[in-house]
Chains A and B, each alone.
Chain A
Amino acid sequence: MTRTRRRAVLIFVMPFGLLFTLFYLVPIGYAIGQSLYVVRRTGTFGPAHEVFGGLAQYERVFSDTPFWQSVGRVLAFGVVQVPVMLGLALVLALLLDSGLVRGRRFFQLAFFVPYAVPGVVAAIMWGFLYSPNLSPFKPVTGAVDLLSADLVLWAMANVVTWVYVGYNVLIIYSALLAIPAELYESARLDGAGHLRIAWAIKIPLVRPAIVLTAVFSIIGTLQLLAEPQVFRSFSSAVSSTYTPNLTVYSTSSIPNFNLAAAFSVVLALATFVLSFAFLKTVQRRGIQ
């Protein structure tokens, strides 16, 4: 590599590299450092001292039943919500692309609007829509308590789906747009219908985009925070440790920074392992 090119690479990489190091890597290092300390103090109001505690905080994390229950809860959530949401997004994207639909611009905008609603605001809105007495859908909400312990997880799944379907439609739809039209022309001439073309040509070609959206949904699921936090004020079933991120938040407001840091590190690792495993599995199957 020539000197000028080396300099060019440096110019291209530096701004991002520097910011990434400062605002991603260093904080992560700092959090890991924090998680290795424990607090000591003397007397009931004695000032705290942080001393090195090795993996003591991690022992707490691993013996914390509510935390692992919450992990199980978001996994159950993800297993159901992610396929439903992506399935719906795929159908809508295929319909947008099929030529069967008029007013595509309008629909694209309509699907995108919920994504423009900030997560906190979306949760507040749906809280109203679920309420037994004030909801516009009283016949439903009066008969079934959507905010009860059994259903509230799925009530939140609906909020997440509502917000993110449009986003995923956009990703998949733009992947569909990138497919050269000639690819289906011949199939159409052979008499293949819309369904057949969608199934045999389009879906395999946009599979990578679907994988992408799936990974993001998995990450998003493990990070659930805004929705359950807002729902705590509507529903008796959402506890302060309902999702892993809520646990992190409520631990740091005790305040127990070191334990909160350990929770975050474990959570980040779990997210990482899970999405990585998903990618690897999908890639292996892609090769076969």
Chain B
Amino acid sequence: MSPAAAPKTRESLLSRSAAMLVMGVCTIYFLVPVWWLFVGSSKSRGQFIDTDPLWFAEFRLFDNIGDLLAYRDGVFLVWLANSLAYTGGAALLGTLFAAMCGYALAKFRFPGREILFNVVLSGVLVPATALALPLFLLFSNFAATNTFWSVFLPSLVNPFGVYLARIYAAASVDDELLEAARLDGAGEVRTFFAISARLMFPALVTIFLFHFVAVWNNFLLPLVMLSDERLFPVTLGLYSWNTQVNQLPELRGLVIVGSLLSIAPLVVAFLSLQRFWRSGLGAGAMK
């Protein structure tokens, strides 16, 4: 990219302002609801209904967070930790498996390769919601529902990641490099970890982030699988509080503060991974 090359003409100033205007308006659109959430989180229940929704009344954010964390022996923190374990763990391992499989599909010719690829690609198109109930009944046969694994294991599967990994591997891993490694006598698996995975790294970050967000957002599977509150991820926890608002209206405030806190980990993940978003999904083309 070479933005600096543009000559500083008046037309350019005009386009600059127009561009900034569009960006500014969209930013407002994206951030106002989050701002509202932040402001709402800082209010007491009464003020939440009565006062200007977009500006602070008495600033009680830290009291509210304190209430949230103290509620039911700090169950919210348990949920956050669970979410990180489910999503972080599943996204890490899932990315690795997807990368390996996609790499094999891209770099090796073996019988059944096309069939395998097509089956995986079809997997992308299957609604995840259709899987939750059958999965529950299958896990029940092994008395494995309501466990960490019942949510974790199915979350590892990411057909879309395989698809992306195949494309990235084809684009970024040079065949001649692989041949050279083979001639040097390096094993295939070692070559993958030592050379190919490194070349694919930016792409793997992309896959990881997608996978992370997908698992983070998934609440139907845990809803069906888990009955022990201490195993819930944060989305399911907030949802279940939200269904009890009829009975215990106090919970509404906690849901709002909890929602605000639940966004934070993803923003941190994004900020720390942002610099890897370089060679990106350009290759992620449907070919």
Using a CB–CB distance below 8 Å, which chain A residues touch chain B? Answer: 1, 4-9, 11-13, 15-17, 19-20, 22-28, 30-31, 34, 88, 91-92, 95, 97-102, 105, 107-122, 124-126, 128-129, 134-136, 162, 165-167, 170-171, 173-179, 181, 184-185, 188, 193-194, 206-209, 211-212, 215, 219, 222-223, 225-226, 245, 248-249, 252, 257, 260-261, 264-265, 267-268, 271-272, 275-276, 279, 282-283
Contacts and interface: CB of A to CB of B under 8 A. Distances in A.
B157 A16 contact: yes
Contact of B138 (A26, A194, A206, A245): A26
Interface of B: 1-6, 11-12, 15-16, 19-20, 22-23, 26-27, 29-34, 36-37, 40, 49, 52-54, 96-98, 100-101, 103-104, 108-110, 116, 119-120, 122-131, 133-135, 137-138, 153-154, 156-157, 159, 162, 187-189, 192, 206, 213, 216-217, 219-220, 235, 238-239, 242, 255, 259, 262-263, 266-267, 270-271, 274, 277-287
Nearest to A263: B130
A136 B54 contact: yes
Given A118-B262, A209-B281, A91 B22 contact: yes
B173 to A, nearest CB: 13
A173 B97 CA distance: 26
Contacts of B23: 92, 95, 101, 107
Nearest to A15: B97
Contact of B129 (A118, A179, A225): A225
A91 to B, nearest CB: 7
Contact of B125 (A5, A13, A193, A276): A276
Contact of A24 (B129, B137, B157, B267): B157
Given A135-B53, A194-B15, A209-B282, A13 B104 contact: yes
Nearest to A124: B242
Given A9-B108, A15-B97, A23-B131, A113 B282 contact: no
Given A34-B134, A170-B277, A212-B285, A4 B188 contact: yes
Contact of B103 (A12, A112, A264): A12
Contact of A110 (B30, B52, B116, B127): B30
B27 A107 contact: yes
A261 B129 CA distance: 11
17 contacts: A8-B189, A24-B159, A27-B131, A27-B134, A28-B126, A99-B3, A100-B19, A100-B20, A116-B267, A118-B216, A162-B30, A184-B2, A207-B285, A209-B281, A209-B285, A212-B285, A223-B127
Contacts of B33: 114, 122, 125-126, 129, 162
Given A115-B213, A125-B37, A223-B127, A95 B6 contact: no
A118 B26 contact: no
A30 to B, nearest CB: 4
A135 B119 CA distance: 47
A267 B130 contact: yes
Contacts of A125: 33, 36-37, 259
A105 B274 contact: yes
Contacts of B220: 225
Max count, chain A CB within 10 A of own CB: residue among B37, B103, B125, B285: B125
Contacts of B235: 118, 120-121
A187 to B, nearest CB: 11
A5 B282 contact: no
Contacts of B22: 91-92, 95
Nearest to A274: B125
Given A13-B101, A112-B270, A272-B125, A99 B120 contact: no
B157 A12 contact: no
Contacts of A17: 101, 116
A175 B125 contact: no
Contacts of A11: 100, 188-189
A35 to B, nearest CB: 10
A1 B110 contact: yes
B280 A174 contact: yes
Given A13-B101, A225-B129, 6 more contacts: A20-B159, A28-B130, A179-B282, A194-B15, A222-B127, A252-B133
A129 B278 contact: no
Contacts of A283: 286
Given A16-B157, A109-B267, A117-B259, A162 B284 contact: no
Nearest to B83: A118
A102 B17 CA distance: 11
A53 B16 CA distance: 66
A278 to B, nearest CB: 10
Contacts of B101: 12-13, 15-17
Nearest to B49: A134
B284 A219 contact: no
A15 B161 CA distance: 14
Contact of A92 (B2, B26, B110, B278): B26
B263 A113 contact: yes
Given A12-B103, A175-B282, A208-B285, A113 B157 contact: no
Contacts of A15: 96-97, 100-101
